[in-house]
Amino acid sequence: MKILVTGGAGYIGSHTVRQLVRSGAEVTVLDSMIYGHPAAVEGSGAKLVKGDLGDASIVYPLLVREKFDAVVHFAAFIQVGESVQDPLKYYENNIAKPLTLLRAMLLAGTRKFVFSSTAATYGVPSQMPIPETEKQDPINPYGGSKLMLEKVCRDCEKAYGLKSVFLRYFNASGSAGDGTIGEDHDPETHLIPVILQAIKGERPGITVFGTDYDTPDGTCVRDYVHVDDLADAHLRALDYLMKGGKTECFNLGTGKGLSVKEIIDAAEKVTGKKAPVTYGERREGDPPYLIADATKARDILGWVPKYQDALQIVETAWQWANGPHGGHY
Ligand code: UDP
């Protein structure tokens, strides 16, 4: 299989690239390198093309020349708060630019597309755990941009026969256990790396955003799913499309909820150190619970996450934080 991976130098993208190469696929990464890291791809066996997916002068010839069997599309901006402040940045990058990619796919005759969507497309869900049938009513431009691209892809199936899989991630976490690739966002806002950076003394501390939620310990509950399990779902989605599968969406989560306090406890156990914690106000746009019903991914893709335990997940994040890159490329 010849696969194009956009955003393959990013966090989930780089873990997926590794698994794809190991499975025998010929992989090309297209990454603007705005947030991607060359070191996340180096040594993986994938070819790296630096370029913007909205740049037709790069994307059209690449796709027409290479005639990929499928495109796995990660490249996107992902900060919820920034999307509220600068929605056009998100609509341009997460909707307008992928249109160029989709157009290039049509020109090249590539009609299989796996796309990183998100639990944020559900907004404030009416049921927990959340099945894919939950209404999609995002409460921020980030979630809105992802939902809009899902809609574009559904129209493209009807009009051009382009088949897509939308993978709606819950809380991606952890790293490849060998410590060589991992999560490195700038700025870093995600809970697990923030706690581990605080424990390492790289930041003054961690603030728990809200302790008065209607949850067992008052802090928000999320479904933390390991990045290698997410990567595995992409390979399964490709297999599903190769076998003639139609456009589908799948939630990717473990189905287990963990509170912010439980994650802090897990980090303290794994590291053997106390986290410098302060308790603060709620963060805008945080629903109390987000837990996946991932039954559909299990039934159709045969996807069962291997990491079911917070300690194991945090352990791999800690390996990355103490690996050859020290948690930063
Ligand atoms: N969180 C927190 N302090 C932080 C970062 C995150 O209390 O410094 C909380 C956040 O409010 C949410 C959970 O941890 O309830 C997971 O947040 P994260 O940003 O990792 O992922 P999100 O749920 O936004 O995708």
For the residues 13-35, what does the mean pLDDT come to? Answer: 98
Q: Are residues 66 and 209 in the same domain?
A: no
Q: Are residues 313 and 181 in the same domain?
A: yes
Q: Sorting pLDDT into bands at 50, 70 and 90, what band is 270?
A: very high
Residue 244 burial by CB count (10 A; 0-12/13-18/19+): exposed, middle or buried? exposed
CA of 325 to the centre of ligand 1 (A): 24
Model pLDDT, residue 285 = 78
Q: Sorting pLDDT into bands at 50, 70 and 90, what band is 260?
A: very high
> In this structure, what CATH number is given to the domain that contains residue 32?
3.40.50.720
The set of residues, in sequence order, having a beta carbon less than 8 Å from that of 85 and lying 6+ positions away, is: none
Per the prediction, the chain carries an average pLDDT of 97
Per DSSP, the three-state class of 6 is strand
Q: What is the pLDDT of residues 103-144, one digit of tens each?
A: 999 999 999 999 999 999 999 999 999 999 999 999 999 999
CA dihedral sign, ordered 77, 79, 80, 82: negative
The set of residues, in sequence order, having a beta carbon less than 8 Å from that of 146 and lying 6+ positions away, is: 76, 94, 116, 117, 118, 120, 121, 138
Residue located nearest, by CA, to atom 10 of ligand 1:
209
Question: Which run of H or E residues covers position 11?
Answer: helix 11-22
The count of structural domains within the chain is: 2
- Residue 249 pairs in a beta bridge with 166
Q: Are residues 72 and 114 in the same domain?
A: yes
> Does the pLDDT of residue 101 top 90, yes or no?
yes
By the 8 A CB rule, do 292 and 223 touch? Answer: yes
CA of 56 to the centre of ligand 1 (A): 36
Q: Are residues 86 and 179 in the same domain?
A: no
Model pLDDT, residue 284 = 82
Model pLDDT, residue 287 = 87
Q: Are residues 68 and 193 in the same domain?
A: no
> Does the pLDDT of residue 179 top 90, yes or no?
no
Residues 312, 270: Cα–Cα separation, whole Å: 9
Residues 5, 111: Cα–Cα separation, whole Å: 14
CA dihedral sign, ordered 160, 49, 225, 94: negative
Tokens linked to 17: 């690239």
263 lines ligand 1 (CB under 6 A): no
User: Based on C-alpha coordinates, what's the Rg of the chain?
Assistant: 19
Strand-strand pairing, 248-252 and 47-50: unpaired
Q: Are residues 50 and 115 in the same domain?
A: yes
Ligand 1 atom showing the smallest separation from residue 208 Cα: 7
- Residue 252 pairs in a beta bridge with 169
Within a domain: 296: no
- Domain extent, residue 284, equals 175-223+255-290+306-321
The set of residues, in sequence order, having a beta carbon less than 8 Å from that of 259 and lying 6+ positions away, is: 215, 216, 217, 219, 220, 221
> Does the pLDDT of residue 233 top 90, yes or no?
yes
Ligand 1 atom showing the smallest separation from residue 194 Cα: 8
> In this structure, what CATH number is given to the domain that contains residue 273?
3.90.25.10
CA of 191 to the centre of ligand 1 (A): 5
Q: Are residues 132 and 185 in the same domain?
A: no
Greater confidence, 80 or 304? 304
Q: Are residues 78 and 184 in the same domain?
A: no
Within a domain: 316: yes
Within a domain: 300: no
The set of residues, in sequence order, having a beta carbon less than 8 Å from that of 264 and lying 6+ positions away, is: 195, 206, 208, 275, 277
For the residues 17-41, what does the mean pLDDT come to? Answer: 97
Q: Are residues 182 and 219 in the same domain?
A: yes
Q: Are residues 96 and 204 in the same domain?
A: no
Within a domain: 135: yes
Q: Would you tell me how many other CB atoms lie within 10 Å of the CB of residue 185?
A: 13
Q: Sorting pLDDT into bands at 50, 70 and 90, what band is 147?
A: very high
Q: Could you give the angle at the alpha carbon of 233 between the alpha carbons of 112 and 269, nearest 5°?
A: 155
Within a domain: 234: yes
Within a domain: 139: yes
For the residues 277-296, what does the mean pLDDT come to? Answer: 94
Q: What is the pLDDT of residues 36-67, one digit of tens each?
A: 999 999 999 999 999 999 999 999 999 999 99
Q: Are residues 233 and 95 in the same domain?
A: yes
Pocket residue to mutate for ligand 1, from 209, 226, 263, most atoms within 8 A of Cβ: 209
Q: Are residues 68 and 127 in the same domain?
A: yes
* Alpha-helix runs per DSSP H in 23-140: 56-66, 80-85, 87-91, 97-108
Strand-strand pairing, 258-259 and 221-222: antiparallel
Model pLDDT, residue 145 = 98
Within a domain: 229: yes
114 lines ligand 1 (CB under 6 A): no
Q: What is the pLDDT of residues 243-257, one digit of tens each?
A: 999 999 999 999 999
Percent of the chain clearing pLDDT 90 (strictly above): 95
Q: Sorting pLDDT into bands at 50, 70 and 90, what band is 177?
A: confident
Within a domain: 298: no
> Does the pLDDT of residue 271 top 90, yes or no?
yes
